Amino acid sequence: MTRMLIIGPPGSGKGTQAERITADLGIVAISTGDIFRANVKGETPLGLEAKKYIDKGDFVPDSVTNNMVRARLAESDVADGFLLDGYPRTSPQVDELDDILASAGVELDIVVQLTADDEELVKRLLGRALETGRTDDTEEVIRHRLDLYREQTEVVVARYAERGILAKVDGLGEMDDVTARVMDAINKRKAA
């Protein structure tokens, strides 16, 4: 059983690696970004609210995100483990996740941080924007999101590092090589 987070700046390959890791470990992937995008596409009230923030490259408010994650982690398919992608992104969200997990009598096993150079991330995201037509991937918005990541999310990384459950993994290179590095980090943590 593995309960984990994957964290890293926008464009670092979190979504791709989350799919590969969950398939390998047989656990559920929970991506807040995918949930938000589905709601935006469906024009749900949550989607319309989230779109205002997403289009500017800002984070969706904690209250909306926390309620969504709490509900999702209460579902039965997470009993064998899960991988959270895109949450928590702020220190208050770490506190909320701690509360959610404590109420279930569990805790995180590992936090994998994918690292990558900013210029490579901008290049990747601009390429993705061309391929997918994503309106939230302009260079200005991408750089804003990278700034937000450093300002807010790196505090999250520091908190998990203090707990001794953080594994930094180089997110650059071939997908298979990155996956191998991630799985190696997970296996080392399980063996510890």
Q: Find the mean pLDDT for residues 141-145.
A: 90
Catalytic residue among 70, 128, 143, 159: 128
pLDDT for position 136: 67
Q: Is there a catalytic annotation at residue 72?
A: no
Q: Would you say residue 185 has pLDDT above 90? A: yes
From 176, 172, 174, 165, select the one nearest 6 (Cα to Cα): 165
H/E/C letters for each residue in 31-43?
EHHHHHHHHHHCC
Q: Would you say residue 48 has pLDDT above 90? A: no
Q: Which residues contact 1 (CB under 8 A, 6 or more apart)?
A: 27, 80, 81, 109
pLDDT for position 3: 96
Q: Is there a catalytic annotation at residue 51?
A: no
Contacts of range 180-189, beta carbons closer than 8 Å, 24 or more positions apart = 182/6, 182/17, 182/20, 182/21, 182/112, 182/114, 183/21, 183/24, 185/110, 185/112, 186/2, 186/4, 186/21, 186/25, 186/110, 186/112, 189/109, 189/110, 189/165
Is 128 annotated as contributing to ligand binding? yes
Catalytic residue among 14, 20, 51, 189: 14
Q: Model's pTM, two decimal places?
A: 0.84
Q: Would you say residue 173 has pLDDT above 70? A: yes
Q: Is there a catalytic annotation at residue 145?
A: yes
Is 14 annotated as contributing to ligand binding? yes
Range from 15-19, 45-49, 168-172 carrying the lowest mean pLDDT: 45-49
Is 59 annotated as contributing to ligand binding? yes
Is 145 annotated as contributing to ligand binding? yes
Q: Is there a catalytic annotation at residue 3?
A: no
Catalytic residue among 89, 124, 181, 189: 89
Q: What is the DSSP string of 123-147?
A: HHHHHHHHHH--TT--HHHHHHHHH
Q: Is there a catalytic annotation at residue 89?
A: yes
Domains assigned to the chain: 2-187 (3.40.50.300)
Q: Find the mean pLDDT for residues 22-26.
A: 94
CA 94 to chain CA mean position, Å: 13
Q: Find the mean pLDDT for residues 7-18.
A: 90
Is 65 annotated as contributing to ligand binding? no
pLDDT for position 152: 84
